[in-house]
Amino acid sequence: MSSTLSSSAAALPVSSGHGEAAPRPALARAGTPLLGTVRVPGDKSVSHRAIIFGTLAVGETLISGLLEGEDVLNTARACAALGAQVERLGPGAWRVQGVGVGGLRAPSAPLDFGNSGTGARLMMGMVAGNPITATFDGDASLRRRPMRRILDPLARMGVEVVSAAEGGRLPLTLRGPRDLVPIAYESPVASAQIKSAVLLAGLGAPGETSVTEQEASRDHTERMLTHFGAEVRVVPHGAHGRTVTVVGRPELKPAPVQVPADPSSAAFPLVAALVVPGSEVVIEGVMTNPLRTGLLSTLKEMGAEIEYLDERTEGGESVADLRVRASRLTGVDVPAERAPSMIDEYPILAVAAAFAEGTTRMRGLSELRVKESDRLAAVAAGLAQAGVRHRIEGDDLIVEGRGAVEGGGTVTTHMDHRIAMSFLVMGLASLNPMKIDDISFVATSFPSFVPLMAGLGADIAEVS
Binding site for ligand S3P (CB under 6 A): 45, 118, 191-193, 196, 217-218, 343-344, 367
Query: What is the C-alpha to C-alpha distance for residues 444 and 71, in angstroms, rounded to an integer?
Result: 5
In the complex, the smallest distance separating the C-beta of residue 415 from ligand S3P, rounded to whole angstroms, is 14
- Which residues pair with residue 57 across a beta bridge? 252
Would you say 77 or 145 has its CB closer to ligand S3P?
145
Would you say 321 or 344 has its CB closer to ligand S3P?
344
Phi, psi dihedrals of residue 185, rounded to the nearest 5° = -105, 130
- Which residues are CB-neighbours of 40 under 8 A, at least 6 positions away? 261, 262, 265, 266, 269, 283, 286, 446, 452
Q: Residues 386, 407: contact at Cβ < 8 Å?
A: yes
Residue 344 annotated as catalytic:
yes
Query: What is the C-alpha to C-alpha distance for residues 457 and 392, in angstroms, rounded to an integer?
Result: 34
Task: Work out the number of other CB atoms within 10 angstroms of the CB of residue 317.
Answer: 19
Would you say 200 or 386 has its CB closer to ligand S3P?
200
In the complex, the smallest distance separating the C-beta of residue 416 from ligand S3P, rounded to whole angstroms, is 11
Q: Residues 212, 191: contact at Cβ < 8 Å?
A: no
CA-derived radius of gyration, the chain? 21
In the complex, the smallest distance separating the C-beta of residue 376 from ligand S3P, rounded to whole angstroms, is 14
In the complex, the smallest distance separating the C-beta of residue 327 from ligand S3P, rounded to whole angstroms, is 26
Would you say 126 or 281 has its CB closer to ligand S3P?
126
In the complex, the smallest distance separating the C-beta of residue 414 from ligand S3P, rounded to whole angstroms, is 15
- Which residues are CB-neighbours of 8 under 8 A, at least 6 positions away? none
Would you say 191 or 245 has its CB closer to ligand S3P?
191
Residue 462 burial by CB count (10 A; 0-12/13-18/19+): exposed, middle or buried?
exposed
Which is catalytic among the residues 112, 137, 262, 344?
344
Q: Residues 346, 397: contact at Cβ < 8 Å?
A: yes
Q: Which of 70, 92, 48 is nearest to 443 (CA)?
A: 70
Would you say 152 or 367 has its CB closer to ligand S3P?
367
Would you say 190 or 306 has its CB closer to ligand S3P?
190
In the complex, the smallest distance separating the C-beta of residue 197 from ligand S3P, rounded to whole angstroms, is 9
In the complex, the smallest distance separating the C-beta of residue 13 from ligand S3P, rounded to whole angstroms, is 24
Query: What is the C-alpha to C-alpha distance for residues 195 and 193, in angstroms, rounded to an integer?
Result: 5
Residue 428 Cα distances to 303, 388, 431, angstroms: 20, 15, 9
Query: What is the C-alpha to C-alpha distance for residues 340 and 189, in angstroms, rounded to an integer?
Result: 10
Q: Residues 40, 287: contact at Cβ < 8 Å?
A: no
Nearest residue to ligand S3P, scored by beta-carbon proximity: 45
In the complex, the smallest distance separating the C-beta of residue 221 from ligand S3P, rounded to whole angstroms, is 7
Would you say 215 or 321 has its CB closer to ligand S3P?
215
Q: Residues 214, 14: contact at Cβ < 8 Å?
A: no
Q: Map residue 311 onto helix, strand or coil.
A: strand
Residue 47 burial by CB count (10 A; 0-12/13-18/19+): exposed, middle or buried?
buried
The continuous run of DSSP H or E covering 352 comes out as: helix 346-355
In the complex, the smallest distance separating the C-beta of residue 296 from ligand S3P, rounded to whole angstroms, is 17
Task: Work out the number of other CB atoms within 10 angstroms of the CB of residue 278.
Answer: 11
Strand order in the sheet with 241-247: 184-186, 208-213, 241-247, 232-237
Would you say 220 or 435 has its CB closer to ligand S3P?
220
Residues marked as catalytic: 344
